[in-house]
Amino acid sequence: MVPVTLPTNFEWGFATAAYQIEGAVDEDGRGKSIWDTFCHLQPTRTKGANGDIACDHYHRYEEDLDSLVQYGASAYRFSISWSRIIPMGGRDDPVNESGIAFYDNLINSLLSRGITPWVTLYHWDLPQGIHDRYGGWLNVEESQLDFERYAKVCYERFGDRVKNWITINEPWIVSIFGYGNGWNAPGRSSTNPMSTNGDTSTEPWTVGKALIMSHARATALYNRDFRGPQKGKIGISLNGDYYEPWDSQDQRDHEAAERRMEFHIGWFANPVCLAQDYPECMRAQLGNRLPRFTESDFALLRKADMDFYGMNYYTSQYARHRGTNPPDTDFLGNVDELQENKEGMSIGEKSGVSWLRSTPHLFRKHLTRIYQKYGKPIYVTENGCPCPNEDKMTREEAVNDDYRVQYFADHLDAVGISCKDGSDIRGYFAWSLMDNLEWSDGYGVRFGVTFTDYDTLERTPKRSALLLKSMFNARMSNIPIGHPCVAELDERKSHI
């Protein structure tokens, strides 16, 4: 079998997020984040789990970077903890030099191993200080100014070595899970019985604009003051599923599928990629609850031209239209999301978590749609899965992750096919380097290519970690699987 070809200069590696792996939450001057607070709420919102220790990456990062070398990665995407850099978070608050030193050491250690750093400025861990001070992302004007200053500190202190920047990770999740259904920090919602504060009908849309304008300020700043001397690139990472109509013969379901993707992706991609207003279907449904962009906002968005579209993709779904008017708390676009269509056909093979089914054929459609619609080079900044029943497996069982191996192979081929469609796709980051705190799901769900023993913190490579290099080598050189040039694939299997 000849795998689908990828570009010969294709960049690949693994991704992580600070709060999920670092631990050391009260060491060396780090301030508290909203996730520190959220994880310790009672009754628990996170199955009793927290990031106090997590994977202890703060103390074990050299070991983890050695794993990147062992796995053959050329790049590593990680996030910086805002409250480790500026403990209280604000633009007039002091910088924590110990936090700077940690990331200096991490970046230097990556470069000494020949691994390219990719830095995400914000992966959900807002400093608790600015949430307490003015409501955090609920204050559109204040939050974007504080984020701009935080970004400036990072550019100034790390930009001589970091040439790849991602401003914000998955603003949809931040807005909806944090301020719509309350499943994530800070847990605000008017529909979640565990939440004591929030307004699901308005707050997600306010937060969405704050994130869009914060991205714009950070990107415009980079373009103006840092791009020339540092010669780097900058983008954003947006999540979003691909949607097929539940009833392929019903035009209303075709419209529902497109509308769902506009509510999921167009909400952010229209402003940040095209400097345009939100999709018309959002304006039609949400009315005045959707904040307006001013002329000065659009002027800033035009100055925030970015280099790439970061795509986080895991699965796809069917969309079915609803025959009733949406409530004010609806954030899906007045559709039902389903995993089986009208004929009972599953969208894909089940994984180890209920919401994710393997859908590489729709990943190809998703990549092609996004490139054709927004015209930005794409980096797949997250893609991965947990294996069926992996949360119940021993280490010896979990390392033989055949489902994940197949998931990666199928999704890499989807990338190659989309390239043949004419898409400009330049890189891929597997989620995740290691099993870690899966946010509100705690430590049960395992997305890592490295098994983490949460009692001893010992790391063990899974089969997928040791095969990805061969998968990429075969595709980037278009060598048939089984060719002697990729014989290391079989050799590495024997060491697992």
Catalytic residues, by residue number, are 170, 382
Measure CA 80 to chain center: 14
Residue 286 CA to residue 333 CA, distance in Å, equals 9
Residue 488 CA to residue 494 CA, distance in Å, equals 10
Residue in this structure with the two tokens 């070595």, named with its chain if needed: 161
Please name the amino acid found at residue 238.
Answer: L
Written as six digits, the tokens of 237 are 């990472």
Written as six digits, the tokens of 481 are 């699987």
Closest CA to 98 of 88, 84, 111: 84
Please name the amino acid found at residue 229.
Answer: P
Task: Verify cis geometry, omega within 30 degrees of 0, for the bond prior to 432.
Answer: yes
Written as six digits, the tokens of 7 are 């570009």
Closest CA to 19 of 52, 47, 45: 52
